[in-house]
Amino acid sequence: MAHNFVALLKSACAESSIPLYAYCIMPDHVHLLISASDKKGIVEFVRETKSLSTKMAWQHDYNGTIWQRSFYDHFLRKDEDCRIVANYIIRNPVRAGIVEHWKDYPFCGSLVYEL
């Protein structure tokens, strides 16, 4: 199911011209580092992606709620380096003890940076 969500996420970003600086699909939460585009704002993008992924899960016989109602956001400030934050996000599986190296975890990466 996580592979399907990654494919959906990449497709949605491409269609909306949303840059996906980093993503990490953890067993119980998701991290995204994105910015708005001329086509779509962040809130609209997250809402639509959550809706599409819920429908996808239901097609795989999952019943019930997948996402919490809202989401936690953090806006990067001028003194925060996007690449450093992206590296932090993709290393979540290492910090959680799931893998020894983030590249061994198939559900994280970037569509912008070579990390």
- The pLDDT tens digits of the residues spanning 6-36 come to 999 999 999 999 999 999 999 989 999 999 9
Tokens describing residue 103: 């590249």
How many residues are listed for the chain in this entry? Answer: 115
Q: What is the pLDDT of residue 71?
A: 84
Q: What is d(CA 38, CA 104) in angstroms, rounded to the nearest whole number?
A: 34
Domain with 82 in it: what CATH number?
3.30.70.1290
In a domain, 7, yes or no: yes
Tell which residue, 91, 16, 89, 90, has the closest CA to residue 46.
16
Please give the tally of structural domains in the chain. 1
In a domain, 39, yes or no: yes
For residue 65, name the pLDDT band (cuts at 50, 70, 90): confident
Tell which residue, 50, 70, 57, 62, has the closest CA to residue 9.
50
> What's the predicted TM-score (pTM) here?
0.90
Q: What is the pLDDT of residues 79-112, one digit of tens each?
A: 889 999 999 999 999 999 999 999 999 999 999 9
In a domain, 114, yes or no: no
CA distances from 50 to 68, 69, 71, 98, 105 (A): 10, 10, 10, 24, 22
